[in-house]
Amino acid sequence: MQIWQSKTSDFEGEQEALAVAYRSDGLPLVPPTMDRVTTMLAANGYAVDEEIAMLPPGFETATAGDIAICAVLAGCKPEYLPVLIAAVEALSDMSFNLVGIGTTTGSAAPIYIVNGAIAGQIGLNGKNNALGGGHRANATIGRAMTLILQNIGNAVPGETDMATLGQPAKFSCCFAENAAESPWAPLHVERGFSADTSVVTAVGIGGTVEVVDSDSPDAMGLAQTFAQSMLIAGTSGGAGLLGGGEPLCILPPEWAALFQRDGYSKQQAKAAIWEQAFLPVDKLAPAVRAHRMGAASDPGANIIRVAEKADDLMIVVAGGVGRKAAYAPTWGGTTKAISREIKIRK
C-alpha cells in the first residue's frame, strides 16, 4: 500500500480520491500521510517493510507499513498499533479459516476481544455499551481491521466477500473483557496466557443476539434462559450442531456475580448452559432436518446441540449495569478462536 500525498485541499474531493486509492468502508477516511504513518510506526518500533503475516483470502503479505496505513485511515492513535499487529497474526492462523469467513455468502465476521493491561492503557471499553459506540479505541481498532481485511487480505465486498446480508461487525467490533468486575479468571488466562500478558482473541461470529433475564433469582434460571436463546435453527454448523465451533457467551457482571454466588465456576456455568442448549430435530423443517442429520456425526440422534462439548463454549464478562447478556453464535463454517499476545516494543 502507498503513503498518501494529498491532491486537493477540498474535503469532499480528497475523500473521493481516498476512496479510489484505498478500498473504503463507506465512512470518511483519514489521509495516511507520510507524517502520520511514520509517527505510528516509530512510536511502536516497527519498520515500514517489516513483514507481519500472510493474510487470507488473498494471501498477500501484510507489512507493518500496510497495517499502519489502515490504522491511520480508520482514525487510530499510534498506541493502538500493537493490538492490530497481534490481531492480524491471529487472523492469519489457518485454523481461524479467514478464507471461509472472508468469502462466504453468510454473515460471518471477526470479533476482537482484548485482555490485559493494554486495554486500560489505550481506553478500550469493556463496560457500558461495550459492543456499541462512544469509545475511539473500540471503534477505530475494529474499523482498522475491516480496512486491513479489504485492502491487504482482499476480502472486498461484492467481489471476494460475498455476504448475502452481512452484519454490523463487518464495520467494527472490538471490546475489552470487564475483568475487574468478573469473579472468574479472564479469557486469556483460561486460554493459557499469564494474567499480566495483554492478549487479543479473534472469534468468527455469525452475529449477536441479546439475552435478557431480569427475573431469574438463581444461576440455573439464567442458564436456562441463555441456553434457550441459543437454539437458532437457521445457524448451520454441520456435524449435527447449531452454529458449532466455540459459541461466545457475553455475560454482564450481574449475571456472573449470580453464578458465583450460587457456587458456579466458569466451567460449571458453561456446563449448566450447554446441558440445556439443544434443539429436538423435529423442530427443524423436513428438508433441513434431512440435510443436517445426514451430515451429523450421530445421524440417529434426536437432538442438535450448540457445540460438541460444554468446554467449547466461551464465556466473557463484559458490560455495565443491567442483566442483559449477548450470544454470538460461531460462524457455521469451520473456524476456531485464535489468541495472540500483544507485544509492546520498547
| Average confidence (pLDDT) over 302-331 | 95
Q: Which pLDDT belongs to residue 238?
A: 65
User: Tens of pLDDT along 89-131?
Assistant: 999 999 999 999 999 999 999 999 999 999 999 999 999 999 9
pLDDT of 135 over the 90 cut: yes
For residue 294, is pLDDT > 80? no
pLDDT digits (tens, 9 = 90+) for 190-217: 999 999 999 999 999 999 999 999 999 9
Confidence label for 301 from pLDDT (cuts 50, 70 and 90): confident
- The rounded distance, in Å, linking the Cα atoms of 217 and 63 is 52
Range with lowest mean pLDDT among 58-67, 73-82, 235-244, 269-278: 235-244
Looking at the DSSP bridge assignments, the partners of residue 327 are 209, 249
- Round the average pLDDT of the chain to a whole number and report it: 95
What pTM was estimated for this model as a whole?
0.96
Smallest CA-to-CA distance from 63 within 74, 73, 54, 75 is with 54
Residue 234 has pLDDT above 90, yes or no: no
Write out the E strands in the chain: 51-55, 60-63, 109-115, 174-176, 199-205, 209-212, 248-251, 278-280, 303-305, 314-317, 324-328, 338-341
How large is the average pLDDT for residues 20-47? Answer: 97
The reported pLDDT for the residue numbered 236 is: 66
Please state the rounded mean pLDDT for residues 253-277: 98
Is the separation of the CB atoms in 176 and 115 below 8 Å?
yes
pLDDT exceeds 90 at position 188: yes
What average pLDDT does range 122-144 have in this prediction? 98
Helix (H, G, I), strand (E, B) or coil at 81: helix
What is the three-class DSSP state of 304? strand
Q: What is the pLDDT of residue 237?
A: 66
